[in-house]
Every structure is written in C-alpha cells, then in structure tokens.
Structure 1
C-alpha cells in the first residue's frame, strides 16, 4: 500500500491516480471512477498525496509498477515533474506544464497537457465558425493561464492578459506565443466601469476567461465590471467552488452565454482517461449525471 494513497494496493489491478499537495479536494477520483464503472473496466482511480520533496521517489517507484497506468498532476507539481519524465508531448513542452503522465510497458514516462484541450472543448462549437476577429480577455497569470493562453493562441485568438504584474503577463505572452499581437494589462483595469463603445461585433468571437482563483470560496472576489465585455461575449470561469460564481451570475443576468469550471475539469479528464485506460469515457446528455454526482453535497 502506498503510505500516502487513499486506497489499499490490489496487485494485478490496473490503476491511475491524481497527485498533488494538497489533494483531498480533488474531484478527479469521482470523475474517473464514474467512467470506469460505466464502461465496466476492471481498474480503479485513486488520489495520492505527494509532498514536493517526495516527488522524485514517487516517480521512481511508479516506474517499476506494471499496474500503474499513469497519473494526473495538480499543483504544485505541474512544472516540477517535467525533469523526472522521459518524454514530453509537444503541446506540454510548449505550455511548460504537465497535468497527465502515462507509463509505457517498458516503464518510460511521457508527460502531456490535457488542460488545453479540456479548456477548448466547450468552446469548439463557437470556434468551428469562421470569424473576422477573435479576442480573449484572460484574467490571471498563474499555472492554469499557461494552458489557456496556448490553447487560444493556437485558435488565432488575440489575447488581452490581465494580471497584478503586467510585466509578468507580458513575459508569459512572449514565452507562449512570441509572434502574437497580444496585450498585457493590470488586472485592476477591468475593475472599474468603462463607457468604451465597442464596434460592431457581428462576425467576431469574444470570450472573457477567469483563469485565476479569484472568486473561489476562501479567496478574494474577482473585480471585473461587465461593461468590459463586448456584446455577445462568452463568459468562462474555471473556478469550480462555487460553481456558479459571481462572474457567471453577472453574465447570466446580462444574457451572455457562460461556461463553468466543471466543463474544463471534465474535458481534461476525458482526454487523460483515454490515455490511461485505452477507451474513451461514455459521455451523454452534456455529462448531466456526472455533473449531478460532482455537485452533490457529499462531494468535497
């Protein structure tokens, strides 16, 4: 048994897990075990608390475990794990962060980033349309923002990245998409109302993304005045607790389309699940049953 794992070791049974510090709040076991049960796979998915100084020993151990299919990686390990792996998928290399590790039969480990694909999944119907112009206002410059910036830049979206340190925001844009005509601003820019007259947005795509923990339970509120959102903007908040954030409530009241944090969480998990277990998860009715499970009071 892994001393930091939440389940006993069952020899011969394939498993994957999520690692992080802390890890008790992770919804990944509920998501993956829901799909495992739906497909009738003889496997399981766990959570494992790995402190930063334990990461090298953890990787050395799972390399030798033929039952270990891989792991999802949460903070603070998404960048620290990279030197411990044998290969990096090109997208993970570009983003500079890994959230999924997969073990090959010979024990070699490959790092992937499924956050980018998970983030884009609910936007695909919009992005399938040809636009005259695409713009995203992204709030936050932390780890989650890296994948979001890379994903949107690859879809020819001009980005306005807002952070407490505009210099950090500028450096992030230059690192992830050096050829892009993007802009960095102080996050306070969006806190006060604006009387800016937006041009005709017909044929354009606009998205507002909260990629920060602001607005999450226990965190300071996100100060964003909706007058900064062009008409018809999609408002996307990756926060999952609470799920209906104040930003999304404002957008609902204004009649704007919204995307909540479970969309990205489930989307990135689906891509990882297929890499771990070799089958795509069953996804029906907008993941409604899984969403009910994840939002039930018993879920952390």
Structure 2
C-alpha cells in the first residue's frame, strides 16, 4: 500500500508564527466569503507587527459568548466585524469613534490600554474613496443606495458627507430605513455644507434615473439571488458600486459593465477599507494597501 504524502505541520504554517504572535479575529455569519484574513495579516506584518488574522464563524445568538471568550485573551489585540454583526459589535465597545457612534455600528475593534474595546467604522469612507478613485464626482449627484444595514448605513453617512445632491435608500426593513434617513437628514441640517436630502424609496424605484447606484445589501452573494435593481435601462454614464466581495464580479457588476457603466467592485472597496482598518488597529498609517 502506497504511503500517503503528508506535509510537516511546521511547514504548513508561516515560519514567523510563534507564541508571541498577536491575534486578530474577523467574525461573521457566514464567514467563508471574506477575503481579509490574508490581506490584513500581510498589511500588519508589513507594518512590523508579528500578527495573524483568524476567521471566526459565529452566529448572532453566540456573539455574547464569543466576546466573553476573547476579551480575557491577552494576546488578542483586535476584531474585524462583518455581516451581520456590525450593529451588535458596537455594544461591546467601551468607546467609539465619532462615525461609529453616529451610526451605532462598528466594523473594527482594537484593544485599549485598560483591556476594553474601542470601535471604528470604515465601510463608508472606504467605499467613497473607491468611487472617487474610479473617477466619480459625487457632489450634487443623485444616488440610490440599496441596503440600510451596517455597511449601507456607513456608506450613506459617507455619501451625505461628500455632498451628494440627494440620497434615496431602499431596504426591506422600513423601520431601519426610516431611522437611517432621519439621522442622515439631521446630520445634513446641522452641517455648514450643502448635503442633499435622504429619503426612503420602495422596490419599484427606477434605477436608471440616478447618477450613482450602490448595492450595500447581501444580494449577489448567492447564485440564485435576484439583481438588487433593474439595470436594463441604465445609461452608460451611471456609476454602479457593489459591496459584495464573493464572487469578485457580481451579476450586478457584470450587467452594469455590459451597459457600459463604470463600476466599483466589493474588492476595490475593501482595499480602501482595509487601509483604514489597519491604520486604526495600529494607530499609525498603514504600510501598504491590502
């Protein structure tokens, strides 16, 4: 009988791992779709940190047990938060950044000197940075945002801060939509800028009437998902963005490109989000993009 070939355990791990390695978790439900463990690990190491990012598949009901378990672990320095835990994660933070406090959500937690958690939220600023990098001038534009969850709320906040002419939000949860738009309008009214009004819209909204269309919902993660908007009449001048990272080219992005639209993928967004997460985790500028 032929002997099975096995790889020595030590060879299957990066040679730099040791008992001194600092641990960061990324937690979500599901978790298989995330691309950040290797990218954030590489960025942390490029910045001189002996660190490893570990994925953790944790259901909503088990989140209290997860935080109860990792908080006493003295070698755990941070947690990256993904779907659907961004709102819940804020409850485990002793302090929050201004944006995270406004949104009541966090996607990155770092350990403070006293052992507590400080939360930040970077989905919005990262996505807007990706749009601008793709050539999208947001000021004065009419924007349709699909999804008012953690990522959608952060993107809506960043869009209003960027001076869009109007922001229409579509989400299946009417209460969540109303809460987000009310807070965004209060923010715009309290600002000296020229931010536009945010309002909720229903499923019959006409996507082709907008300058920018953003999918911040999970639609597109599964092969049988419907498109988040009707793209059949989109003009080529429309900018279309999607937060979904797996598949890298979602049906929405492929359909928009077929219409000649400029697009921003979830991977492009996450690259910019990753820059900001690493800066936050290290409290210094990121050494490289993820």
TM-score tier after normalising by the smaller chain length: 0.7 to 0.9
2:157 corresponds to which of 128, 150, 165? 150
Matched, 1:238 2:243: yes
Partner of 2:144: 137
Q: How does 1:96-245 map to 2 (within 5 A)?
A: 96-125=104-133, 131=139, 133-157=140-164, 158-164=166-172, 168-178=176-186, 179=189, 180-190=196-206, 206-222=211-227, 224-226=229-231, 229=234, 232-245=237-250
Deviation for aligned residue 1:162? 2.1
Tell me the SS of whatever aligns to 2:204: helix
Q: Deviations over 1:188-226 (max 9, x none)?
A: 3337xx7x7x9xxxxxxx311111222332442115333
Q: Which segment is superposed worse, 273-282 or 24-33?
A: 273-282
Equivalent-residue separation in structure 2 for 1:77 and 1:269 (angstroms): 18
Deviation for aligned residue 1:97? 0.9
Asked if 1 retains the 8 angstrom alpha-carbon contact of 2:145 and 2:216, the reply is yes
2:288 corresponds to which of 276, 282, 298? 282
Equivalent-residue separation in structure 2 for 1:228 and 1:265 (angstroms): 28
Equivalent-residue separation in structure 2 for 1:247 and 1:21 (angstroms): 23
Q: Could you list the runs of 4 or more consecutive aligned residues of structure 1 that deviate by over 6 angstroms after TM superposition?
A: none
Unaligned stretches of 5+ in structure 2? 1-12, 190-195
Partner of 2:8: none
Equivalent-residue separation in structure 1 for 2:252 and 2:28 (angstroms): 28
Equivalent-residue separation in structure 2 for 1:244 and 1:257 (angstroms): 13
Deviation for aligned residue 1:238? 1.5
Asked if 2 retains the 8 angstrom alpha-carbon contact of 1:94 and 1:176, the reply is no
Asked if 2 retains the 8 angstrom alpha-carbon contact of 1:216 and 1:245, the reply is yes
Tell me the SS of whatever aligns to 1:160: strand
Equivalent-residue separation in structure 2 for 1:24 and 1:216 (angstroms): 11
Counterparts in 2 of 1:40 and 1:88: CA distance versus 1, 3 Å: closer
Partner of 2:6: none
Partner of 1:49: 57
Matched, 1:273 2:278: yes
Counterparts in 2 of 1:229 and 1:34: CA distance versus 1, 3 Å: same
Asked if 2 retains the 8 angstrom alpha-carbon contact of 1:166 and 1:186, the reply is no
Equivalent-residue separation in structure 2 for 1:255 and 1:211 (angstroms): 21
Task: With the length of structure 1 as denominator, give the TM-score of the two structures.
Answer: 0.76
Equivalent-residue separation in structure 2 for 1:261 and 1:269 (angstroms): 12
Matched, 1:264 2:272: no
Equivalent-residue separation in structure 1 for 2:278 and 2:229 (angstroms): 35
Aligned residues: 265
Counterparts in 2 of 1:152 and 1:130: CA distance versus 1, 3 Å: closer
Task: With the length of structure 2 as denominator, give the TM-score of the two structures.
Answer: 0.78
Asked if 2 retains the 8 angstrom alpha-carbon contact of 1:118 and 1:268, the reply is yes
Deviation for aligned residue 1:126? 6.8
Deviation for aligned residue 1:234? 1.1
Equivalent-residue separation in structure 2 for 1:24 and 1:129 (angstroms): 34
Asked if 2 retains the 8 angstrom alpha-carbon contact of 1:137 and 1:209, the reply is yes
Tell me the SS of whatever aligns to 1:262: helix
Tell me the SS of whatever aligns to 1:101: strand
Q: Cα RMSD (Å) of the superposition?
A: 3.0
